Chain A
Amino acid sequence: MICPRCESENVDKLVDSPVGDVWEVYMCNRCYYSWRSTEDASVTDPAKYDKRFKLTEAQIAKMMEIPPIPPLEVE
């Protein structure tokens, strides 16, 4: 399985449904996208995920930090 958004292979199953065996939730360890197995293919299938919301490794590397991490003070 790969992440529908950033297509990383570093994906884990986060949880099974607490009641019944009706869905699982997965999460990408690179872009933190999460999705439920019962959601529409347009948000769970990498081939169908809207290109405007896709993320690449290069984009993540250049992402803005909010808030910026301040300089460390030594006590």
Chain B
Amino acid sequence: MAYKTYRDLRDFLATLEAEGQLVRIKDEVNPEPEIGAAGRAAANLKNGPAVLFENVKGYKGSVVTNVHGSWANHALMMGMDKDTPVIDQFRELARRWDKYPVAPNIVTDAPCKQNKITEDINIFEILPLYRINKYDGGFFISKASVISADPDEPQNFDKMNVGTYRIQVKGKDTLGIQALPFHDIGLQLKKAERLNKPVPIAITIGNDPIVTFMASTPVKYDQNEYGFVGALRDGVPSDVIKAEETDLLIPAGAEVVLEGYIKPRVRTVEGPFGEFPGSYSGARLQAEVKITTVTYRDNPIFENLYLGLPWTEIDYLLALNTCIPLYQQIKETHPEVKAVNAMYTHGIGVIVSTGVRYGGYGKAVGMRVLTTPHGMPYSKIVIVVDEFVDPFNLEQVMWALTTRVDPIKDVAIIPNCPGMPLDPSSNPPGMHSKLIIDATTPVAPEAVTRETQLLEPPVGYEIWEQTIQQLLKAQQAADPVLA
């Protein structure tokens, strides 16, 4: 079966609207606090929609938020039915992941080139910028896909990076950018700054939802994100085009492209910013970007995300794309692993379901999570469950915890490990103790003191599930008030 793919953000928004997963706000709204408040509200709803503001006071363009902010939208991004369970979305992503690399099509004409500005740049004329959370240090661009190259090998496609970094507006043509040392762009900046050279970048805003998804996925430094975009489009390459000032490749359908460079050896006050752990980051001295060229589509749409106390849009955006790389890495050495749920606070909490080869295997799987490249700094609490437990179904996970764990032998705490500095419980920032809970059923040579016989579902229950769902749908179609 061929899954639906999207040319660009607009194509996806049309599908969201047709599926009842987008609402338009036509009345004029104040930029603050309305856009942030609507982003919070949409995330509070079960299967909340994208929210498109058509009339923002004082601005020309429109703003869309919560585009990735529900499991229904996430499934539609993958071209799947909007009711697809999370575990099935995980399995489908894992299947497509193995198609990497699928090279993008390089085109010579694209919608993102419809308009071009190189003088008197004022991004407020193009983007309806706004404060997301009350004590953010300014107006932030929270969902851009930023393209940059390795300074030593600017033509090396594999090392060309597409990443999402928080961006603070610091002038009509000046931005702050958070390039942490362990980010790919941080590595590129370090190489360039040693030689006092700028890092050319292209900040692309409003993309095919798979581009945005991959830009926020942790992959290896020499794995190009566009190669994964094609893989996750189930083998269908995406269109890219050369930037105006450099050979950086940008998504052809981007709404707005800000080209420029990171100034070498410059740091100015940035933040605070309401961050993914649900709290504000501190204010720090961070790098600055000068914008030298802007290209944009006619009537550009500013796509931005709200992030607040989890769950909000960022938690959906950083959910399965944190799970898949961890799953792929753990599976290499532990093929019994069935699924990895690393979608709590970007993988700080992880639940793994696995077959158990021999006694103590659950703990070994937990230790492997904590030694993966992402798990080492981020993951703090690891729960390991049996292979028949769906790690995305928290009721099932709680069942495993309550019926399989003997705390005296199944819980382990490992002191003084690497930690994620943005986790407020990390002490000192960047260090952490780790917790493994082995909630798998004991097998030999571990002492199996009490045999248990699991309840099995009655024969034919799958058919009954379908029958009941079909009856419900038919009932709702006949009487929309019930829907």
Which of under 10, 10 to 19, 20 to 34, or 35 or more describes the interface residues of A?
35 or more
> Is the C-beta of B135 less than 8 angstroms from some C-beta in chain A?
yes
From A23, A30, A63, A67, give the contact of B181 (CB < 8 A): A67
Query: Contact at B135–A70, with CB atoms within 8 Å?
Result: no
Query: Contact at A18–B284, with CB atoms within 8 Å?
Result: no
> Is the C-beta of B297 less than 8 angstroms from some C-beta in chain A?
no
Query: Contact at A27–B195, with CB atoms within 8 Å?
Result: no
Q: Given A18-B59, A55-B269 in contact, is the A34-B138 Cβ separation under 8 Å?
A: yes
Mask, B128-144, CB within 8 Å of A = 1, is 00010011011100000
Which of under 10, 10 to 19, 20 to 34, or 35 or more describes the interface residues of B?
35 or more
Mask, A41-60, CB within 8 Å of B = 1, is 01100000010010100001
Contact residues in B for A70 (Cβ distance below 8 Å): 190, 193-194
Q: How many A-B residue pairs have CB under 8 A?
A: 113
Q: Given A60-B269, A63-B283, A64-B285 in contact, is the A36-B138 Cβ separation under 8 Å?
A: no
> Is the C-beta of B57 less than 8 angstroms from some C-beta in chain A?
yes
Q: Which A residues between 8 and 42 are near B, CB-CB below 8 angstroms?
A: 14-15, 17-20, 22-23, 25, 27, 30-36, 38-40, 42
> Is the C-beta of B176 less than 8 angstroms from some C-beta in chain A?
yes
Give A38 Cβ to nearest chain B Cβ, in Å. 6
Instruction: Please classify the interface of chain A as helix (H, G, I), strand (E, B), loop, or mixed, using the class held by over half of its residues.
Output: loop
Contact residues in B for A20 (Cβ distance below 8 Å): 58
Give B267 Cβ to nearest chain A Cβ, in Å. 5
Query: Contact at B283–A31, with CB atoms within 8 Å?
Result: yes
Contact residues in A for B196 (Cβ distance below 8 Å): 72
Q: Given A32-B170, A63-B283 in contact, is the A18-B124 Cβ separation under 8 Å?
A: yes
> Is the C-beta of B122 less than 8 angstroms from some C-beta in chain A?
yes
> Is the C-beta of B171 less than 8 angstroms from some C-beta in chain A?
yes
Query: Contact at B269–A23, with CB atoms within 8 Å?
Result: no
Bound-state CA distance A32–B288 (Å) is 11
Query: Contact at B32–A71, with CB atoms within 8 Å?
Result: no
Bound-state CA distance A33–B270 (Å) is 8
Mask, B251-291, CB within 8 Å of A = 1, is 00000000000000101111010000000100111110000
Query: Contact at B267–A69, with CB atoms within 8 Å?
Result: yes
Q: Given A22-B57, A32-B168 in contact, is the A42-B134 Cβ separation under 8 Å?
A: yes
**In the complex, which residue of chain B has the Cβ closest to the Cβ of A12?**
B171
Bound-state CA distance A72–B195 (Å) is 6
Query: Contact at B58–A43, with CB atoms within 8 Å?
Result: no
Q: Give me the 8 closest cross-chain CB pairs, A-B, nearest first.
A: A17-B58, A34-B138, A67-B181, A22-B58, A73-B194, A65-B285, A15-B124, A53-B135
Binding site for B on A (CB under 8 A): 5, 14-15, 17-20, 22-23, 25, 27, 30-36, 38-40, 42-43, 50, 53, 55, 60, 63-73, 75
